[in-house]
Amino acid sequence: MAVDNHKSNGGNHWLVGANVGLMIGLAIVLVAALQFAGYHWSSRVDLTSTGINSLTPATTSMLRDLDTPVKLVSLYFKTDIEDEDQNRYRSAVNDLIGLYRSTNRGKIKTEEINPLQDHDKRKELFTELTKLPKFKDEAAGHIAAVDNFRENVLPLVNEVISGELQRLGAFTALEGQDDRLIGQVRQMYTQAQEDLEQASIEISDAMSSEVPLYSGATASIRQLGSDIQRMLNNVISVGEQIAANPQGFSPAVAGYFQEASDRYSALLQALQAQQTSIEALGTLSFDDVVRDLRGDTNNALLVMTDKGAKVVPFRTIWPLIDPRMPNGGFKDRKFQGEQKVTSAILQLTEDKKPAVIFVRYGGTPLLTGGFMPGQPQPTYRQMMTNLEDVNFTVHEWDLAESDTAPEIDPEPSRKIFVVMRPMPSTPQMPGQPPQTPPFTPQKLEALKTAMGENPRAIFVAGFMPSMGGMASPYEYNDYLRETWGIDAPGDTVLLFAEEYEPQKFRFQRNPLDIQEVRFGDNVLAEGLSTMRTTFPLVSPLSLIEKAPEGVTTDKLLWAPQRPGLWAVKDVSYYVKQQTNEYIVRNPEDRTGDFMIGATASKGDDKGKIVVIASSEFASDRVALASEMALTSQGVTIRPRNPGNAALFINSLHWLNDNIKWMNLGSPIDTTTLAVDEGSASMKFVWVLCVLILPGLAACGGVFVWMVRRR
């Protein structure tokens, strides 16, 4: 029995050991499999209702469609004595680039470099940048200019200066003005020789530094060449003056100056050719990259592809809420990481860009100007920046000044026109001619010619007052009716008043701003119904009963019928009632649903347009206005009308046949961090915790029990 018990106990020990080994093996296999799956098929679930831990769907779509590898390098510094804000900046950026990498691990690579400590990594990064094709091609002209200076121009300059100093040294026993003039020239050439040696050292340092400063070298050459040309021409000018009045100068001194033109001729030609070639080089985008990366505490984020690179500086990712606080901390800044990083990736991966051409007729510029006191501010300057962020180039055309659209170089992938209402031709002062000539059919033909047979355009219609406050007819309405089936007469303006008693109204806010709107089942309107919008100066439009052949029209947005919403022909009727206790509606003014936006298309690649009957809906003043709001995290700054900017930019994407980029990089309103309990993601977590994980544990337990029974 003792032997039998010994054998039995030995068998049990072996079985227990085998079970333990099997479980360890299974655990290792499971962990390895999960690690492999997590690396190659990583997925994250955002449980916040605002999506603060997610990229927007448009950015996600863009990243998944990448066919070019992209590298994101964070150079946010880290020290042992840094403040809390720096850790917040760095963590937010690193979390963001982590989201980019998890979206497409095959194409997105990330790296973190602490510029204060990782000196070797930083040096390798600069070396990698200099080898990129974009920068190599740009630098080729600058390198050639430096080589030409060293091999051809510099020896000639040294030869001339050395020769001049020898000639000047041969003058002895001079008196009077001969002595003074030769002494000044000798000092000038001696100083020029010293400047030449110093400039040569600076050029060599610029070309051989850790990060070659090519344009810095060519700038030094250009300045040096300009100084030498001026010096030589001054000597030649003295010779011309002496030739005109030789009295008081010795023949030897006079001959020195009068023969200078022949002695300097070859050098002056070489210097002028050098200056011309350098001026044609232009600026290096590589310099912008180096400028933003050189500082150890710049907090830069670098986006790289196999062709080029772009720095997303701290000032663009973390702009100040109030620009008047230049030293604002974390709480004084807003995070625009996704917009700017996505923009940089687009600009590096898209070879051709669509062009947006703002068309005005008279008036002040829409995109530039306003820098001097008293100048009107451009209406779309900030919107231009937003459009450039999503890979459009932006241009302006004053149809009153020119019948041809501006030339765009390089040629864009598509031209999209944003057609504003012509400015009225009324004189500013009685008896004076109008500043802008009347809009004519010839100008309409010029616009149609520029848009081509398959136009892509947004027509910004809306209210434009004429003399006496009456709404003026829309200049492009005949074209829209006959070609696209959209009627935008422009002869009324929407007015909103609050009804406090039946048929008695008061103006509680700006009566020309329409805020309560509805969006139709249109791809442009996706997601806009949850965003705040404002449409000022609306002159409603409609769809004609039978659209032109081949044209499909669609209702985009409208203001629903309600008391106090009227289409008014004469605003002055209500202005006169402002002092009354209440106002009443003019019986001639219409009520009902009023269409504000519509689309029309002619089929695939045969042209399509968007018409928005609000003359300022996309302006900086309205679409990009900000406001302070009290949230669970405290007071924050948020967009006042985010739906306006989204509608405008999405319309451009739709006109560019690129709806997958709608809302690309648009900011998320992070006013709360509440978990959305009814969301699909929350249900998934519930199922995972309550059913899947316990089920896996139960299956593992049953398997172990069965093995132990054997």
pLDDT digits (tens, 9 = 90+) for 12-36: 666 566 666 666 776 677 666 666 6
Q: Which two tokens stand for residue 690?
A: 């309550």
pLDDT value at 193 more than 50: yes
| Confidence at residue 285, expressed as pLDDT on a 0 to 100 scale | 81
Q: 594 — phi, psi (to 5°)?
A: -125, 120
Q: Provide the pLDDT confidence category of residue 51 given band limits of 50, 70 and 90.
A: very low
| Confidence at residue 632, expressed as pLDDT on a 0 to 100 scale | 54
Q: Provide the pLDDT confidence category of residue 50 given band limits of 50, 70 and 90.
A: very low
Instruction: State percent of the chain over pLDDT 70.
Output: 83
Nearest-CA neighbor of 561 among 598, 528, 595?
Answer: 595
Q: In this structure, is the dihedral angle defined by the CA atoms of residues 588, 591, 597 and 598, taken in order, positive or negative?
A: negative
Domains in the chain: boundaries: 2-46+678-709, 57-116+296-317, 139-285, 354-426+436-661
Cβ count near 212 (within 10 Å):
20
**Which residue would you say has higher pLDDT here, 660 or 609?**
609
CA distance 117 to 123: 11
Provide CATH code, domain 57-116+296-317. 3.40.30.10
> How far, in Å, are 414, 634, 641 from residue 628 at the CA level?
38, 10, 13
pLDDT digits (tens, 9 = 90+) for 399-431: 999 999 999 988 999 999 999 999 876 555 555
Domain 354-426+436-661 has CATH 3.40.50.880: yes
CA distance 413 to 404: 19
Please state whether the peptide bond connecting residue 410 to the residue before it is cis, i.e. omega within 30 degrees of 0. yes
| Confidence at residue 638, expressed as pLDDT on a 0 to 100 scale | 77
Q: What is the pTM of this model?
A: 0.72
**Beta carbons of 89 and 70 less than 8 angstroms apart:** no
User: Pseudo-torsion of CA 586, 589, 592, 593, nearest 10°?
Assistant: -130
Longest dimension (CA), the chain: 142
Angle (CA) 81 84 89, round 5° = 110
pLDDT digits (tens, 9 = 90+) for 311-351: 999 998 998 877 777 788 888 888 889 989 998 998 898 87
Q: In this structure, is the dihedral angle defined by the CA atoms of residues 319, 321, 326 and 328, taken in order, positive or negative?
A: negative
